[in-house]
Amino acid sequence: MIRYIALLALLCLPSSNSFASFIYADDFDVGADRTHLTDNATLSWLSGTNNVSTSKVHTSGALYHQHFGGLVDAATYQTTPGLLHEALGSPNSYSYGALQIDFDAPARSFGMKVENLHGDGFGVYVFGTDGSFMERLDAYVEQKQTSSGGPYFDGSFHWDFNYDVGQIKLGSNASSGYVYALDVTQVPEPSSLILLAIGVLCVFKVRRSINSSVQQEAA
């Protein structure tokens, strides 16, 4: 029986993309408040050091998608040096535009889709549940072509973590960059997957016992 449980648990383990579930700004009305992104994730706008405000949806502008942003703008910019120096403990104040995601319960994965007109990369700053800076992730966009032949840049990213994440800050490293989709889906813990496997096995065993009893009565 233990072997069957282990096998079911392995089959239930998520791959890096199996639980990816992006929330698109395109799915909401322009101007909609998206501060309450999900039951577990709060989305905020950062307009420089210690300037936190609510988040809402903005128009696509010259690009292809609507974007998550702040009350006035959705262009993230200058997170390097801004967010980088803050994460490393600098006491100075910085001017930048960025998005911040706070998780009520620890997260173990994160994804985003971004676009811009300049090709500048994005930075993702990951913090633990105690607020400690864990790591910076670099996200580089790829050049695409518009229907009219003009260039723009786009990127889709997803990461899994082997530690509990409490907060994420992100934005363009330099010139204006836009975020049009976010994945803040919680990945089930291994213990939950094992319990699920046990439940499936129990249901299978009960059904097998019932079928066996019916066959004996018929005989």
Whether residues 24 and 102 fall in one domain? yes
b (16+ CB within 10 A) / e for 76-94: bbbbbebbbebbeeeeeeb
- The average pLDDT across 67-79 equals 96
Whether residues 205 and 151 fall in one domain? no
Contact 182, 68 (CB under 8 A): yes
Q: What local confidence, expressed as pLDDT, does residue 219 receive?
A: 56
Residue 116 lies in a domain: yes
What digits encode the pLDDT tens for the residues 32-57?
Answer: 999 999 999 999 999 999 999 999 99
The answer to whether the bond into 14 is cis (omega within 30° of 0) is no
Whether residues 79 and 159 fall in one domain? yes
Residue 6 lies in a domain: no
Whether residues 205 and 143 fall in one domain? no
Whether residues 97 and 140 fall in one domain? yes
Whether residues 204 and 166 fall in one domain? no
Whether residues 179 and 194 fall in one domain? no
What digits encode the pLDDT tens for the residues 144-156?
Answer: 987 666 789 999 9
Residue 59 lies in a domain: yes
- The average pLDDT across 95-116 equals 97
What digits encode the pLDDT tens for the residues 154-186?
Answer: 999 999 999 999 999 999 999 999 999 999 986
Q: What local confidence, expressed as pLDDT, does residue 9 receive?
A: 47
Number of domains into which the chain is organized: 2
Residue 1 lies in a domain: no
Q: Determine the Cα–Cα distance for residues 206 and 202; give it in Å rounded to an integer.
A: 6
Whether residues 142 and 211 fall in one domain? no
What does pTM read for this prediction?
A: 0.78
Q: What local confidence, expressed as pLDDT, does residue 212 receive?
A: 58
CA 94 to chain centre: 25
Whether residues 147 and 195 fall in one domain? no
Q: What local confidence, expressed as pLDDT, does residue 54 receive?
A: 97
Whether residues 84 and 157 fall in one domain? yes
CATH number reported for the structural domain that contains residue 165 in this entry: 2.60.120
Whether residues 62 and 28 fall in one domain? yes
Whether residues 107 and 196 fall in one domain? no
Domain that includes residue 218, residue range: 188-219
